[in-house]
């Protein structure tokens, strides 16, 4: 077979130097037929090996029958049904070739992202254990938001993946950007939309911010693949070589890195940097609402004698003066606040550790004073009961009541009278 170099030289000699075909054959030491074929071909010669049959070809009719009845039957099951005794790789290649004939092909379209159209959210779980105080370390979730048009990134670490904390994180990231995208895209996170429909707190959040919650279909990771890829970007470009002293330290480091590196990098599909395109995104977004949406944890409870309330696996003290009264408790990402009739009953920094008791010394002092006052009151009441005079009734009254009319008073009566 003629080589590409000989093919090129034959065409150069004939078309550029007008050398006769016979002379070209003599000069290059090839046959005239080779010269004729090289001049007639429109492209360089290609070496193609004759296709060899697969050892699985004789099983193709049986594979067709199985796939016709059960298009998604695993290759391992097919191997059992047809008595396959060879390499599974060969059979899997053949099944992969035949399966689309029965399942069809799901093509992936190229998406067009318009300014202000959507923001994708996802949770990233960095591997390092983060110190959270009280000698504890935890693997904490990081909420990541990606604006689909500008590719602008922002992220924050959260104390939990519960709805209240996710909503608080969403509002922190959205308000940090300064506007709301027309749709917020989430997967079927248990605290967001476990059955494909946003939970009531998410619907209330969307209504307050005048946006739309879009939930990804099941088993479709490409639906929000942009932010999924950014999680991998964090793993390879932000995380290596770093250590963190606390969740706050993590948030400080990742915020600095995103501002100075991630949003400054050149995006090929944009032909620009996210920070430069953000303005077009913001111009098409919806303005922030005049009042922030309800986020975090909030509930009302009657304060028991044990003047502590449990929030996210930790107990926080409350002013014992409000024992027995209804207290409104609110927990944000940073604070835990209790209010009763407009008066602050507790204000603690939120603890990200687990199974801890958070106590305000002032609450303990108040409880001690209340307990002393209560004990004094009880002692006074008991002492007052002992000093009360008891009416005395002579024994003769009981004798008459029971029909005892003895003239002689028994010895016991003398002793009693004495």
Q: What is the DSSP annotation of 14-75?
A: IIIT---HHHHHHHHT--HHHHHHHHH-SS-----PPPPPPTTGGGHHHHHHHHHH-TT--H
Strand-strand pairing, 142-147 and 118-124:
antiparallel
Instruction: Please answer whether residues 247 and 159 qualify as being in contact, where contact means their C-beta atoms are separated by less than 8 angstroms.
Output: yes
pLDDT value of residue 110 = 65
E strand segments, 158-210: 183-186
- Give me the residue spans of the domains in the chain: 4-40, 57-103, 118-284, 297-364
Cα(349)–Cα(339) distance, integer angstroms: 15
Closest CA to 148 of 317, 293, 256, 274: 274
How far separated are the first and last CA of the chain, in Å rounded?
145
Tens of pLDDT along the chain (418 residues) come to 788 888 898 888 988 888 999 999 898 888 989 998 888 887 888 877 777 788 999 999 999 999 999 999 999 999 999 999 999 999 999 999 999 999 887 776 666 889 999 999 999 999 999 999 999 999 999 999 999 999 999 999 999 999 999 999 999 999 999 999 999 999 999 999 998 999 999 999 999 999 999 999 887 777 888 888 999 999 999 999 999 999 999 999 999 999 999 999 999 988 999 999 999 999 999 999 999 999 999 999 999 999 999 999 999 999 999 999 999 999 999 999 999 999 999 999 999 999 999 999 999 999 999 999 988 888 877 766 555 565 667 777 777 777 776 555 454 544 444 4
On whether the 118-284 domain is CATH 3.30.420.10, my answer is yes
Give the H/E segment covering residue 337: strand 335-340
Closest CA to 122 of 179, 161, 176: 161
pTM exceeds 0.85, yes or no = no
Query: How far apart, in Å, are the Cα atoms of 152 and each of 119, 149, 262, 313?
Result: 9, 8, 8, 35
pLDDT value of residue 212 = 95
Strand partners, 144: 122, 155
pLDDT value of residue 378 = 83
Q: Which two tokens stand for residue 321?
A: 């003066």
């Amino acid at each position: 077979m003629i080589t590409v170099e000989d093919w090129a030289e034959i065409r150069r000699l004939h078309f550029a130097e007008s050398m006769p075909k016979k002379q070209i054959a003599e000069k290059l030491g090839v046959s005239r037929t080779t010269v004729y074929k090289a001049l007639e071909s429109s492209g360089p010669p290609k070496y193609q090996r004759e296709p060899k049959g697969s050892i699985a070809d004789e099983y193709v009719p049986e594979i067709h029958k199985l796939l016709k009845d059960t298009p998604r039957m695993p290759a391992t099951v097919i191997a059992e049904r047809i008595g396959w005794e060879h390499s599974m790789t060969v059979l899997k290649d053949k099944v992969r070739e035949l399966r689309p004939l029965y399942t069809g092909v799901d093509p992936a379209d190229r998406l067009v992202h318009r300014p202000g159209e959507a923001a994708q959210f996802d949770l990233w779980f960095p591997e390092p254990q983060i110190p959270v105080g009280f000698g504890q370390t935890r693997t904490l979730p990081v909420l990541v938001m990606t604006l689909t048009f500008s590719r602008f990134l922002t992220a924050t670490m959260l104390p939990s993946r519960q709805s209240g904390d996710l909503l608080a994180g969403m509002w922190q990231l959205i308000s940090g950007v300064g506007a709301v995208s027309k749709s917020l895209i989430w997967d079927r996170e248990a605290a967001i939309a476990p059955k494909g429909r946003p939970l009531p707190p998410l619907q209330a959040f969307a209504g307050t911010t005048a946006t739309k919650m879009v939930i990804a279909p099941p088993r479709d990771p490409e639906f929000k693949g942009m932010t999924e890829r950014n999680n991998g970007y964090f793993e390879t470009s932000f995380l290596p070589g770093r250590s963190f002293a606390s969740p706050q330290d993590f948030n400080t480091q990742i915020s600095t890195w995103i501002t100075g590196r991630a949003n400054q990098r050149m995006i090929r599909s944009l032909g620009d940097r996210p920070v430069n395109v953000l303005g077009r995104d913001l111009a098409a977004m919806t303005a922030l609402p005049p009042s922030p949406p309800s986020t975090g944890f909030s509930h009302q409870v009657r304060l028991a004698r044990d003047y502590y309330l449990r929030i996210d696996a930790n107990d926080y003290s409350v002013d014992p003066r409000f024992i027995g009264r209804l207290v409104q408790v609110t927990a944000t990402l940073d604070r835990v606040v209790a209010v009763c009739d407009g008066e602050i009953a507790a204000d603690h920094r939120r603890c990200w550790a687990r199974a801890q008791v958070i106590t305000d010394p002032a609450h303990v002092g108040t409880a001690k004073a209340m307990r002393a006052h209560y004990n004094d009151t009880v002692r006074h009441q008991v002492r007052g009961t002992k000093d009360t005079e008891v009416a005395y009734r002579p024994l003769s009254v009981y004798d008459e009541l029971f029909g005892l009319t003895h003239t002689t008073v028994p010895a016991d009566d003398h002793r009693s009278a004495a």
